[in-house]
Structure 1
Amino acid sequence: MKNINPTETKSWKKLQEHFKDMKKVHIKELFFDDKNRFNNFSTIFNNKMVVDFSKNLITNYTIKLLLNLAKETFVSNAIEEMFSGKIINLTENRAVLHTALRNRSSKPIYINQKNIMLEINKNLEKMKIFSKKVISGEWKGYTGKIITDIVNIGIGGSHLGPEMVTEALKPYKNKLNIHFISNIDGTHVTEVFKKINLEQTLFIISSKTFLTQETMTNANTIKKWFMTSTPKKINFQKHFIAVSMNIKLAVDFGIHKNNIFPVWSWVGGRYSLWSSVGLPIMLSIGYKNFVNLLKGAYDMDQHFLKTKFNKNIPVLLALIGIWYNNFFKSETEAIFPYDQYMHKFSLYFQQGNMESNGKSIDRNKKLVKWKTGPIVWGESGTNGQHSFYQLIHQGTRLIPCDFIIPAISHNSINDHHIKLISHFLGQTYALAFGDDSNNFSKKGTNLNDSFHIFKNCVGNKPTNSILIKKITPSTLGSLIALYEHKIFVQGIILNIFSFDQWGVELGKDSSKKILQQLLDIKRKNSFDSSTSGLIKFYEFFKKSNK
């Protein structure tokens, strides 16, 4: 990858000048000037997805400058390097090949002269055989009863992706009940245990290193409870599966080596749902649907790899995001899926984006002087409309939003979905065009009313609309891959490393040091006055509760 300061490019400087004009423009002016604006600023993917970016503060000239920015920062070269297996995660000396996990072609992909597709396909076949045994009832628990519940124990990428997808694809769910334990808070494991029967539950411990504190704390607690019921090792091995690259620690934990599914170093945690980490997904929706999820992502990969940038959906959305974050100083962006099954989608890409591009050191090892990753947040359906949409409509902050909805619902009862569609369209319309006070007179509003000004909604709030034919394994796979690639492109242009997370590691290290203090309160305390004071009060409250 090239290491280029984006602010020193010709296109960035031209964008700064262009912004001076665009900040005075209203979206409704853009539509007035271009009657074909929707056709000019939208694109169709696989006849199953329409991405409309016409309700943005952009012109053809804006797009031209942004595309030049992508060219000057060598985005196309970076895309080729990622897909071909070059080491682009330089701080960890790793390739980044989650795209290989959904490679549905026969094309080999090499790392260190080894075709990793052979290993990927071998593991996919192993997942297929295992999932079929569990779903069919062939795999029995230690008392001979079939498995009815799956509990995934993981955190971060080993949790958010599988949970998001299993929720989004609930219409394809089989009879197995899927549960997730992630939080180290004992409440999480306690509440899940109230819902299961040990004799009929399969536990998946998902940890790349098999050292993650939260995951292994929960796993050891569950192991202790299980062994209290049945201390035989053979019984334990019928109920515990591992997803890890640390085979030795998984075996030492008591898991049979045949029940360990691999994860590779070139798969980042937040991009790992396509791997063995996605085992709960396959157990929930079956092998065929899981493969369709992979195929959908592969289709978007090919679009991203082969489509010219002026029609390339991930590239265009990435560029528009940079336009707002760095020139309009918007700071945040929201994702609103109008589909209840997708209620975890915003949360998933909160991690995907903020953990990837929440960086302040560029690839030249210098402190950045531009905005990197935005704050990402969101909510599903119309819930947000009766909550925080007020601030988006009339607040003082510019918040670009993505609206996502399926044209066809899995639950078309009465008139629910057509009303949901009307809200989806109505919100993006109102955000773009507003309803200024001059229009109130046309509605019979008394302009002498001293309170009419409080109803003033100026609009000019940018949105992207993503209309999907139906949420299926395939279309969901494409949508996830779209956002993955958007994040990647932004990281390339912003000259940062998107595939490490050293800030997360620092938080873990600090927690370990404080845990040592909490376990040995007589140990010399070398923390700041705030941390030390809170430790003292923790001890006081704990003792006073006896």
Structure 2
Amino acid sequence: MSEVSKSRPLLPNNLPAWQTLETLGQQHWSLADLFTKDTERAQTFSTAAEGIYFDYSKQCLDAEVKDALLELAQQSQLIEKIQALFAGEKVNISEQRAALHTALRLPKSAKLVVDQQEVVAQIHGSLERAEYLVERIRNGIWRGFSGKAITDVVNIGVGGSDLGPLMAATALDEWADSDIRVHFVSNMDGTQLGGLLAQLNPETTLFIVSSKSFGTIDTLSNAKTALAWLLTTKASREAVLHRHFIGISANLEKVTAWGIHPEHQLPLWDWVGGRFSMWSAIGLAVAIRIGMAQFYELLAGAHAMDEHFRTADFGANLPVLLGLIGVWNSTFLHINAHTVLPYDGRLCYLPSYLTQLEMESNGKSVTRAGEIIHYATSPVLWGEIGSNAQHAFYQLLHQGTQRVSCDFIACVQHYLEDEHGDELRYQHDLSLANCLAQSRVLAFGNHAVAAAEDAVVCDLDKFKRYRGNQPSTTMLLDELTPASFGALIALYEHKVYVMASIWDINPFDQWGVEMGKQVANDVFAELNALHDKAKDSEADGPAVQFDASTQALLRHIKAADAF
């Protein structure tokens, strides 16, 4: 076990810098006053790296707060914890594992030995195997059971095996240079898959079954349905499994037992967390859509952000600043809601991805030593494309009673090669204008409009007051490319690690997910048993004694003849 994981420093809230920040957090913070007092504030509280301009001047902090946050990072041993992460130490202490998503984007020439194994060679071996499959599929060499080339690829996964690839494939679709269509299925209820299968040709459809454990019921139930659909063609089971399935897992024995051919299996490792895994073979569907060369650009962009995070001074380090600001807002200003607002339709799935990345990672209430926490950790996170959000929940942001911190994300340049270029450029500028305007109004309220008066002129004006003082960070990408997108996602991954390091929690396990799965298995067994009991109204009660509410719901399902 590493020295980092064995060390038992003071609880975070006993650190001197923490005490300083608690005092500072009790002050009244006015964004309007901060900008009035410091005419250079926008320059002082902004920086840039890897094609991302980072403006945090609209956060409720000043130089004293920033210095205290940076001191808290030092007292929390953030430098040592970053080194431990990149070195492959067992930073996931509850499962005694490394968290080596950063290794997934190391160049082939790099070297990293973990548990006496050279992992970079393994990673690039998997990437090369993926590239072989990708080229066969994209070039029409891979054929279905009837000899026809593949036209559609369906990624079956859930959580990190779905959200990351779905987000990336959507964001980078402009780089698609293949006619092969890529689809994503995750819902276990079957409606999502059922609707998709109605549109597909079984002779030309390939399924990627992505599951780290290859035991996730959501994924395997969809895979089973896909197999049954293919078998309706009367093709042999062996031909269907050989020609129409790829398996990606850390448990390849289970993949083989399920029936997927060993030639069509790609490995994961136990040191890759699901929500950090899209850089691995889990991103196969993305590579099929945009090509392996662009997928390598995605990895290179993430690696560039890794190097920035690992080496840059904390005062200008984007992940460190983003993470420390998150801690300041959640823990010291008690702002327990956070929204991500991309003003670019290509980033429509980014908020959904970040809800898992942040809340599953940092939604913890015990320290790494297992001690109960008495301070706020992860805020509730949600988000939406900015233009949609403006007509949905911005009302709460502007005039509600909740304080909410915000991330605005936009691209300065839009990739426009279209006969409608002028019109699309106009729309892009309109979106940018709304992005900047909304952060301005959230920060300054009615004072964002020069003509606004402090006095209430009429009763109606009482309903038109914007209080402002909602903190936000604005991130502007020079343009959205595979490399800049990779850097953006890596930025948020490292933000999560920074926050976890300050809070002294483990962001790499998710035990809170497991209990629900276990209980669901008991309920599922009872629902299956209802098939046999449906004709017998005098049948015994459930084999497992559930709570009164669950038993009543089961009785209602039976009475409604659902079975």
Band of TM-score, shorter chain: over 0.9
> 3-state DSSP class of the match of 2:330?
helix
How far the C-alpha of 1:436 sits from its partner, in A, is 5.1
Contact 2:341 2:384 (C-alpha < 8 Å) held by counterparts:
yes
Among 2, 8, 12, the alignment partner of 1:6 is 12
Contact 1:227 1:236 (C-alpha < 8 Å) held by counterparts:
no
Identity %: 37
Among 279, 286, 290, the alignment partner of 2:291 is 286
Distance 1:95 1:365 in 2: 19
Q: Does 1:122 align with 2:125?
A: yes
Contact 2:156 2:219 (C-alpha < 8 Å) held by counterparts:
yes
Distance 1:488 1:441 in 2: 42
Backbone CA RMSD of aligned residues: 1.6
Q: Which one-letter code corresponds to 1:11 in the other structure?
A: A
For each residue in 1:45-69, what CA deviation from the matched residue of structure 2 results, as whole angstroms up to 9, or x when unmatched? 13x2100000111100000000111
TM-score (norm 1): 0.96
Distance 1:354 1:235 in 2: 39
Distance 1:93 1:364 in 2: 13
Q: Does 1:397 align with 2:416?
A: no
Q: Which one-letter code corresponds to 1:119 in the other structure?
A: Q
Q: Does 1:187 align with 2:198?
A: no
Q: Does 1:212 align with 2:216?
A: yes
> 3-state DSSP class of the match of 2:232?
helix
Q: Which moved more, 1:458-467 or 1:224-233?
A: 224-233
Among 493, 501, 515, the alignment partner of 2:510 is 501
Distance 2:68 2:299 in 1: 34
1:52-451 aligned at under 5 Å gives the runs: 52-104=55-107, 106-173=109-176, 174-229=178-233, 230-411=235-416, 412-414=421-423, 415-435=426-446, 447-451=456-460
Alpha carbons of structure 1 residues 61 and 258: separation in structure 2 relative to 1, 3 Å: same
For each residue in 1:334-369, what CA deviation from the matched residue of structure 2 results, as whole angstroms up to 9, or x when unmatched? 100111011000000100000000111111211110
Contact 2:241 2:261 (C-alpha < 8 Å) held by counterparts:
no
Alpha carbons of structure 1 residues 282 and 437: separation in structure 2 relative to 1, 3 Å: closer
Contact 1:333 1:400 (C-alpha < 8 Å) held by counterparts:
yes
Distance 1:359 1:159 in 2: 23
Residue aligning to 2:537: none
Q: Aligned residue pairs: how many?
A: 539
How far the C-alpha of 1:448 sits from its partner, in A, is 3.7
How far the C-alpha of 1:542 sits from its partner, in A, is 2.5
Contact 1:3 1:495 (C-alpha < 8 Å) held by counterparts:
no
Contact 1:436 1:456 (C-alpha < 8 Å) held by counterparts:
no
> 3-state DSSP class of the match of 1:407?
strand
How far the C-alpha of 1:446 sits from its partner, in A, is 9.0
> 3-state DSSP class of the match of 1:100?
helix
Among 492, 499, 514, the alignment partner of 2:523 is 514
How far the C-alpha of 1:437 sits from its partner, in A, is 11
How far the C-alpha of 1:397 sits from its partner, in A, is 1.2
How far the C-alpha of 1:228 sits from its partner, in A, is 2.6
Distance 1:385 1:247 in 2: 46
Contact 1:404 1:465 (C-alpha < 8 Å) held by counterparts:
yes
TM-score (norm 2): 0.93
Contact 1:437 1:452 (C-alpha < 8 Å) held by counterparts:
no
Residue aligning to 2:29: 25
Distance 2:336 2:38 in 1: 29
Distance 1:458 1:439 in 2: 15
Q: Which one-letter code corresponds to 2:272 in the other structure?
A: V
Distance 2:350 2:215 in 1: 27
How far the C-alpha of 1:520 sits from its partner, in A, is 2.1
Residue aligning to 1:529: 548
Alpha carbons of structure 1 residues 52 and 232: separation in structure 2 relative to 1, 3 Å: same
Distance 2:285 2:545 in 1: 43
Distance 1:130 1:436 in 2: 58
Q: Does 1:49 align with 2:44?
A: no
